[in-house]
Structure 1
């Protein structure tokens, strides 16, 4: 019971959201037993939701591209299935994806209740999200990614888990502070379930969503993510996302991480600004269906020559991590993937940017690594891809700890690579924030002193 009381006390304390600059406290705390039951149910619901969405993704992929029709989860990868499909089939599937995406999101915005993001739910005293709109939003993301959308699928399981957690916390009578913690834990558990990253899901909650490492909240985050990942094994198995060749740490990799880390940070800053601008300019009215359809037709045409463009980027990342991609192909895919990611967001489709960002970093790592090998040879391109993916992901998402944990769980790389990965992420995040501070600094009037009094820097 002392442990339960400590957990209850920790979850009852004010949780300050940096986006709202406020905290909420409710002294009418429910029993510790009820809070523990809610924590377990959040993990179970997130696991079932994440597993169900992942199985739906696989089923739609197999049906759309005509591979592994006898199994929902198969040994044949999505990239292998897409590559084996005829170019015309790819074009037809992408065109259908454009029809579904355009019509679907137009209906959501036209007839559904306004969507509530996970961050807004966590910041609110009542974290409940609209049921029908959120379900439609998540299903559209999963179906369109399965049919070839270049955006990520990770937002959908987080949203479905946050939806479940918010309503569960409401029915359980949790305080506003506790409900926000449960919604954040649910979102992290959804991520853990769909990617089999229990540690990454928990750290994501603490570092990104709640910005706190208080141990009672950490217990809830780790418990929900672990339960969700365990539940997802029932349908998805205990498998890593990417396979790596045998890699050995050397001085070249460490030096590469230190030198190129800031370059990945600057590239990540440009990517974030471009994607944010594309999302902000996306239509929500009658122009949306036509623009989305046109965008997916263009992707379909490109996929006839480059099947690696189809989907959220996992295929291209797998080629990079597997040391199975050339410099020329990596350059072409990087340019095309960034363009289709931006155009898809600008047209009005929705999805995440975790896997797309990771893939962009891996491809850029292959490009820079190829140049590096020309002067200091001897390192497989897969090692550079890992450094690039970790650095770009950590900077673009502004989550250095979560990025390195996710890379460990995604690839199971050797613990020796923690050193260069940490150095690369540190350099990337520092460069990102330096550029952000520089670009957000207000312009001074002409002939005005640079700083201080009378131009003297204090």
Structure 2
């Protein structure tokens, strides 16, 4: 069953859940505590990320949550400083993950724990793995930071549910909710976290899953406000749908689907053969040094892609630069995975879609002008994210919450996502791209 298929929880083969968990007061209390714990975990990871960023690149040193963005900070830093920070990132990443794989217990992913509660996440290894992801992303790794709070949320939920005597089905449900709540906390996306839990992890939209997922994600996002505020991830201009944009979304949606599918296949190959043993610290150092050299000329490459996406949404990136950044970002993401680094692909995929949309939208504007490039970027970001992460509903909700875009703008966005997913499915069904 594919992650974007819907089915009753009782019929979910991928999670192994054979019956809907019986709702009880105990389950409700555990869900509330899971939301609180996941919110605190996500908040602490976000604060750690911001503090390391400020110290590494020398901006907003008197604040943990400053007024300058990461892109502004790295752009104002000297080219030599960007290089040295990335070289340090290579050392931290290489030695850190080498130590984890050499002395830690085998890493168990959130999905593996949700699929089978006989495979619990090892606490020490999981925490070290999550913290190291945050440190490297803060230093400039091109991978996403969303996996770390999901791991911490799932780990806390697993520990809590095991000690409260929940049934196997209830425990799997709570672990998935903890992971979604971690995502909700770090990005302030309560609905996005809930939909992610149901669409991607549990593969169900039953009322029990909906109630628990929405409650835990909302609580986690609210708790995180205490430390990082109710921030909007991307501040975008007011865009309105036009006939030109709607037609463009219908035509280009399938192109984003093919590109997103190719991207995930490319990164899967890199992820399937990561460096291990003595090669890991060597490859990591070389990989991040190369990124540092590139960042001397293209500071927009640093970090998980949020800066590049914001430039695209603001229409502040030219077609040529967008195409260059797109190619380079795909290569450095794959290179980092091949070198043994860990992290998510959510924000990198979002940025890739936005940059690709700048190129396609810019060309479209020669024939049918009048649409801001940022409007194309928003639509393309959702379409690329939907296919590359196999979560069309979650992608639409996340982009809407990330940007708080005008409600009517959902029309071209959803049309592009639909075309993207259909094109990707056709590609899969015909065995193309293998």
TM range (shorter): over 0.9
Counterpart in 2 of 1:446?
A: none
- CA deviation after TM superposition for structure 1 residue 96, in Å: 0.4
5 Å-filtered alignment, 1:296-335, equals: 296-335=288-327
* Alpha-carbon displacement from aligned partner over 1:204-263 (angstroms, at most 9, x marks no partner): 011111111111221000000000000000011111100112322210110010000000
Counterpart in 2 of 1:8?
A: none
Alignment partners' CA distance in 1, 2:433 and 2:82: 46
Tell me the TM-score normalized by structure 1: 0.91
Q: Structure 1 stretch 43-52 or stretch 235-244: which is displaced more?
A: 235-244
Alignment partners' CA distance in 2, 1:433 and 1:382: 28
Native 8 Å contact 1:266 1:435 kept in 2? yes
Native 8 Å contact 1:127 1:183 kept in 2? no
Native 8 Å contact 1:327 1:370 kept in 2? yes
Native 8 Å contact 1:24 1:176 kept in 2? no
Provide the aligned C-alpha RMSD in A.
1.6
Alignment partners' CA distance in 1, 2:258 and 2:238: 30
Counterpart in 1 of 2:279?
A: 287
Aligned residues: 427
Alignment partners' CA distance in 2, 1:58 and 1:184: 26
- Of 219, 244, 269, 1:227 maps to 219
Tell me the TM-score normalized by structure 2: 0.96
- CA deviation after TM superposition for structure 1 residue 35, in Å: 1.2
Against the structure 1 CA distance between its residues 97 and 425, is the aligned structure 2 distance closer, same or farther, given a 3 Å change threshold? same
Native 8 Å contact 2:311 2:317 kept in 1? yes
Alignment partners' CA distance in 2, 1:413 and 1:88: 38
Native 8 Å contact 1:94 1:300 kept in 2? yes
- Of 413, 432, 447, 2:405 maps to 413
- Of 14, 17, 23, 1:19 maps to 14
- Of 96, 101, 107, 1:115 maps to 107
Native 8 Å contact 2:130 2:152 kept in 1? yes
Alignment partners' CA distance in 2, 1:205 and 1:332: 34
Counterpart in 1 of 2:147?
A: 155
5 Å-filtered alignment, 1:172-187, equals: 172-187=164-179
Counterpart in 2 of 1:261?
A: 253
- CA deviation after TM superposition for structure 1 residue 281, in Å: 1.2
Alignment partners' CA distance in 1, 2:275 and 2:120: 26
Against the structure 1 CA distance between its residues 358 and 26, is the aligned structure 2 distance closer, same or farther, given a 3 Å change threshold? closer
- CA deviation after TM superposition for structure 1 residue 328, in Å: 1.2
- Other structure's SS at 2:297 match: coil
- Of 199, 206, 215, 1:214 maps to 206
- CA deviation after TM superposition for structure 1 residue 350, in Å: 0.6
- CA deviation after TM superposition for structure 1 residue 163, in Å: 0.4
Native 8 Å contact 1:25 1:176 kept in 2? no
Q: Which has the larger radius of gyration?
A: 1
Against the structure 1 CA distance between its residues 278 and 266, is the aligned structure 2 distance closer, same or farther, given a 3 Å change threshold? same
- Other structure's SS at 2:430 match: helix
Counterpart in 1 of 2:32?
A: 40
Alignment partners' CA distance in 1, 2:194 and 2:24: 21
Native 8 Å contact 2:75 2:299 kept in 1? yes
The yes-or-no answer on 1:391 pairing with 2:386 is no
Counterpart in 2 of 1:68?
A: 60
Divergent runs of 4+, >6 A: none
Alignment partners' CA distance in 2, 1:144 and 1:37: 35
Q: Structure 1 stretch 323-332 or stretch 39-48: which is displaced more?
A: 323-332
- Of 240, 254, 274, 1:248 maps to 240
- CA deviation after TM superposition for structure 1 residue 116, in Å: 0.3
- CA deviation after TM superposition for structure 1 residue 365, in Å: 0.3
Alignment partners' CA distance in 2, 1:222 and 1:435: 34
Native 8 Å contact 1:394 1:425 kept in 2? yes
Alignment partners' CA distance in 2, 1:225 and 1:186: 8
Native 8 Å contact 1:15 1:177 kept in 2? no
- Of 347, 350, 354, 2:339 maps to 347
Which residues of structure 1 form unaligned runs of 5+?
1-12, 443-458
The yes-or-no answer on 1:190 pairing with 2:179 is no
Alignment partners' CA distance in 2, 1:53 and 1:23: 31
Native 8 Å contact 1:40 1:223 kept in 2? yes
